[in-house]
Amino acid sequence: MNRELNDAVIVAYGRSPIARAFKGSLANLYPTDYGAQIMRAVFERVPGLPVEAIDDVIIGCAKPERTQGKNMARIITLASGLPNSVPAKTINRFCASGLESIALAAQAIKTGEAQIVIAGGVESMTMVPIEKDEMMLYDPELIKNRPDIYMTMGMTAERVADKYGITRSEMDHFALNSQRKAARAQEAGEFEKEIIPVTLDEGAFVTDECIRKDTTLDGLGQLKAVFKENGSVTAGTSSPMSDGAAFVVMMSGRTAEILSIKPIAKFIGYAVAGVDPEIMGIGPIKAIPKVMRLTGLSLEQMDVIELNEAFASQAIACIRELQIDEEKLNPRGGAIALGHPLGVTGTALTIKAISYLEDTGKKYGLISMCIGGGMGAAGIIEKL
């Protein structure tokens, strides 16, 4: 029996400020704590939402282990004050985890398996960092026969720069532009409606803290390569390690109508694709055309493109290969300036795109990123 698919709509959103890992404002706070704070604040943004009717909570996390283990999503759900009847799951598609959570929620809503879902991402790169000694944990046969599977992200960025002929100067200019756009947006208050303050013992954490407003081209040029001797990728052209949380409340269009809740945006489609792990940064080159084919839309129809800036080299490669209109690209800065808390990024970029579309009165937003291990993801939203 054929059944018409439901619309999957976003009715509320919010994120923490993004904190610098290790020395930042969230370094001493458990991700379950600030994750619960942000989740609670986001569902409280929907007056009339029957919390007992929430069918599921889906939280993306790129390192769901140790402090972020034991199905952190369930812990956060209960800590947020939602009733015991609300289930939850933690999911991992590394850098796309926060977008994957939204896509999974949309799939359940579209097919009628769920009516109301909270989706998002939480990541503490402080408490569960990418460790330098992780090679000791891996399969020695794969290390010998498929070392590309375990290649560090920084080395893949160097490979992309080499393969696509991207110069150090180009990367430095790209990073400077990201910092300038983010600093301008922060100064103009354009992130304020996205951000939910996190309560700390000493007060409240209210402002993104990775942005370096004083960045100069000369300063970037003096930085040394960090991943490869005589390489070209520096800390200044890489996204900083960071901590944060972000959530959206999603439901079917029909449920929103019944509850008299005004939808903000509709989730249109999602696609993932695989690429060579050694050049994982080019994942969007495969994922973006795929989501366009699935949805029948075109890159030209996108009004804002939020492409995650894991590294300047991979972002530049994707821009060139896809011929992305840079006027539409990351208008409020990207991850090089704002940070890349791995499991959060997909949700945070979706929120950033929605906020931009609200402010400009435009329609379509594209969210995309490369993914560790050699993948790419892309999702499309429509502002309602």
Q: Digits of tens for pLDDT over the chain (384 positions)?
A: 457 899 999 999 999 999 999 999 999 999 999 999 999 999 999 999 999 999 999 999 999 999 999 999 999 999 999 999 999 999 999 999 999 999 999 999 999 999 999 999 999 999 998 766 666 778 888 888 998 888 889 999 999 999 999 999 999 999 999 999 999 999 999 999 999 999 999 899 999 999 999 999 999 999 999 999 999 999 999 999 999 999 999 999 999 999 999 999 999 999 999 999 999 999 999 999 999 999 999 999 999 999 999 999 999 999 999 999 999 999 999 999 999 999 999 999 999 999 999 999 999 999 999 999 999 999 999 999
Could you list the active site residues?
A: 95, 340, 370
Residue 151's pLDDT is 87
Residue with tokens 């097919």: 111
- pLDDT value, residue 135: 66
First CA to last CA distance, the chain: 30
CA angle centred on 130, ends 163 and 378, rounded to 5°? 55
Tokens of 161: 């720069």
Q: What is the pTM of this model?
A: 0.97
**CA distances for 131 relative to 25, 151, 357, angstroms:** 21, 13, 38
Helical packing angle, 72-79 and 31-43, nearest 10°: 60
| CA-to-CA dists, residue 314 to 75, 213, 236, 239, angstroms | 35, 23, 14, 11
In this predicted structure, what is the pLDDT of residue 258?
Answer: 97
Phi then psi for residue 120, to 5 deg, are 175, -160
pLDDT recorded at residue 4: 85
Helix 168-187 crosses helix 312-322 at what angle (to 10 degrees)?
90
Residue 221 is predicted with a pLDDT of 97
